A and B are shown apart, each in its own frame.
Chain A
Amino acid sequence: MDKLTRRGFLGLAGAAGVATGLAACAGTGSTATGTASGAAAGGGSSKVIWWSNHPGNSKEAEQKIIAAFQLANPGITVDLQDGGKNYEELAQKFNGALAGNAAQLPDVIVASDVTWFNFALNKQLAAVDDLMAAAGLKTDDYVDALYSDYLFNGKHYALPFARSTPLFYYNAEMWKNAGLEDRGPKTWQEFKEWAPKLQATIGSDKIPIILADGTNYLDWYFQNMAWNFGGAFSKEWTPTASDPKTIEAGKFLQELVAMKVVKFSKTPEADFQAGIAACMLQSTGALGGTTKNSKFAFKTAFLPGDGNCPTGGAGVAIPAGISEDRKKSAIKFVEFLTNTANTVLFTQATGYMPVRKSALDDAGEKAFLDKNPNSKVAVEQLAKTRSQDNARVLVQGGGARIGKSLDQVAAGQDVASVFAALDKETQGVIDAQIKPKL
């Protein structure tokens, strides 16, 4: 091809400059039109656009609730739109929408425990306290631990919706064969004593416990282990992964690996359901699917430890950029979506937690729980939950960062140095992105 001449290079540089300028215009232009055109197009107060990833295959349940809402509020229609296959995709899509025209923002989005905060921090979500108060609705019936997860600077930025916790699933028959009591381990130390007994009876081609790997929320489950040993990923905005107690938990995980009683997998539920793992930690949201997929009877139990169960899952949030009229309709719908009757409906369809205190007094829910002891365990564990560490859920990229470190620990790297490096990274993000905005 022709040589790259000086003139050619200058032309190229100029063209690149123009292109960059255009891109910048596109970005800034949108903000201007966004504020100007307001609610002209898009949702509008009579139409609520809801982006959901249908947690727990819940599209059908969501549609039922929407139908009931439209019946009760004839002036408002709700448009349920697919926001992606998981929380991260939905957050990505919402991020894209924020760059566009405000009139085209959705009215309601599903926001997970790790995705909501960054939006709230950048003032992209509306505070629900004010909206609820203005609409004359109360928030005190929400389960406190779940509602307070969305607290930031004195305001809440989402309402709990598809909330889950990890749950201890075990294969009852393998438990029996190993001569273990029919219950989950009280502490992780107790599980360590049990593991060899399990291994001896299930055979060497099966594994006593299967856990998700670092890219599939091991960081979520490991919080329980860290808390069991008195450690944590962080205290408020101070990272504490290099605290001796957290390191002890990391070493404990390594001991289990050394004993060859634990395996890590992208889809632990697959191995558990295939009957090649005696137990697993998995979200309560997987309860419905696991029940349908398994050929054998399994049981559930509280996580090891007391009061050591992290909360998780998703809430519903309202973008700050939409007009006040649209917000009014949106809050009305969101409250309806999470009211007592609907949280009961949604819970039973998926295995997620009831987010209202009054849901537990509901006669239908009581009957359901009596018939489904596994769900009952999950609901009872709710009283023993604890809000997650900031380093995982509030610091940008926290889950992935901790997951990567845990993968390194599981691969046998020195726990103290891995966790020290993790703390340093976490601190860096906090200093750069969060401290200035607090």
Chain B
Amino acid sequence: MSTHAQVGPSDRHRSPLMTTAGYAAMAFVVLIIAVPLLWIVVTSFKERQDIYVRPAQWIPNPATTDNYSTVVTTIPFPAYFRNSLIITAALSTAKIVLGVLSAYALSLLRFPGRSIVFLIVISALMVPNQITVISNYALVSQLGWRNTYQGIVIPLAGVAFGTFLMRNQFLSLPTEIIEAARLDGAGPMKLLWRVVMPMSWPTLVAFSLITVVNEWNEYLWPFLMSDNEATAPLQVGLTILQNNEGGTNWGPVMAGTVLTVLPILILFLMLQRQMIKGLTAGAVKG
């Protein structure tokens, strides 16, 4: 940071105009992102007649929590919530473990056919999962796995993206450190845990975060696989609140959305701190 400031003194003495413009741009971006979210929260506290009005109501008047009780009473919310937690936890764990291990093998271990394996994994990344839906469905249905957690989790657990991301991260590590660890007699697992992973936290946390958010929001596959609240996650449950052919009561939908977003938001805030810690911890020591 400090070396940077010496390079360009103009950085320190930016014109007030530029600073104002910078803040204005920042405020603008925040506004674009925050207003729809704020609208969701506000709407979730409104009575039905106050949702479609002009001029728009920015503060619910009268405010009501009816929408939240509607959500919890009209759909088996706790069951959907439990399913979402189980599916997200299982899938994220599987994806992260598989991603890290396969990336490690493909980047730092030497074995015959390594590049072929990598190419196959990467080519899997190119196939949109909508295409494999029908054949996966046939397979899972034959196994009798519809309406089971494993039917939802296992077909989704493939991790070309994680492999790709983590492999590039591992390859970017200084080879000197890896060589040094090997010379000191570290085995493959020790090398991974003691040397490679501590230097890769930021990437891993970012990858985990993306994975968790993705799995939490997964819709198509769980929707096809589950017929009721025994296994269906929240995203599928929320659609019951919507109505086709006009006239959705948006209050409960928004309330459900708020409740669905909350856990991810909390997790995000927690992991974000980790991410920064990882960035500043400094990997190269001794």
Contact = CB atoms under 8 A, between A and B. Distances in A.
Given A29-B138, A49-B227, A4 B243 contact: no
B49 interface: yes
Contacts of B244: 53, 55-56, 85-87, 285
A285 to B, nearest CB: 4
Contacts of A33: 142
Given A15-B120, A99-B138, A55 B49 contact: no
Label chain B's interface by main secondary structure. Answer: helix
Given A12-B123, A27-B134, A99-B134, A293 B240 contact: no
Interface stretch (A123-131, A188-196, A268-276, A320-328): A268-276
Contacts of A30: 138-139, 141-142
Contacts of B114: 2
Contact of A100 (B48, B118, B141): B141
Interface string A277-291: 000001101111110
Contacts of A93: 223-224
A274 B52 contact: yes
B249 interface: yes
A131 to B, nearest CB: 23
Interface in B223-258: 223-224, 227-228, 232, 236-237, 239-240, 242-249
Contacts, number: 155
A49 B227 CA distance: 10
Given A41-B144, A81-B227, A293-B48, A283 B134 contact: no
A1 B236 CA distance: 41
A290 B119 contact: no
A101 B239 contact: no
Nearest to A217: B245
Interface string B43-83: 00000110111100000000000000000001000000000
Given A30-B142, A82-B236, A270-B52, A2 B135 contact: no
Contacts of B243: 54-57, 289
A58 to B, nearest CB: 9
B132 interface: yes
Contacts of A100: 137-138, 140-142, 146
Chain A interface size band reads: 35 or more
Given A86-B244, A283-B246, A292-B249, A27 B224 contact: no
Given A16-B123, A101-B141, A286-B246, A59 B146 contact: no
A164 interface: yes
Contact of B239 (A4, A84, A97): A84
Given A26-B139, A26-B142, A82-B240, A293 B247 contact: yes
Contacts of A87: 244
B284 interface: no
Contacts of A53: 244
A54 B140 CA distance: 27
Contacts of B237: 82
A138 interface: no
A269 B54 contact: no
A55 B245 contact: yes
Interface in A248-275: 267-271, 273-275
Contact of B245 (A51, A56, A96): A56
A59 B224 CA distance: 20
Contacts of A55: 243-245
Contacts of B135: 22-24, 26-27, 99
A8 interface: yes
A295 B53 contact: yes
Contacts of B224: 92-93, 96
Contacts of B247: 56-57, 269, 285-290, 292-293
13 contacts: A24-B135, A49-B227, A59-B240, A81-B227, A82-B237, A82-B239, A85-B240, A85-B244, A97-B137, A273-B52, A276-B54, A285-B244, A292-B48
Interface of A: 1-2, 4-5, 7-8, 11-12, 15-16, 22-24, 26-27, 29-30, 33, 41, 49, 51, 53-57, 59, 79, 81-82, 84-87, 89, 92-93, 96-97, 99-101, 104, 164, 267-271, 273-276, 282-283, 285-290, 292-295, 313
Return the 9 tightest CB-CB contacts between A and B, nearest first.
A289-B247, A100-B141, A286-B246, A285-B245, A85-B239, A23-B135, A81-B227, A30-B138, A2-B115
Interface of B: 48-49, 51-54, 74, 113-116, 118-120, 123, 132-142, 144, 146, 223-224, 227-228, 232, 236-237, 239-240, 242-249
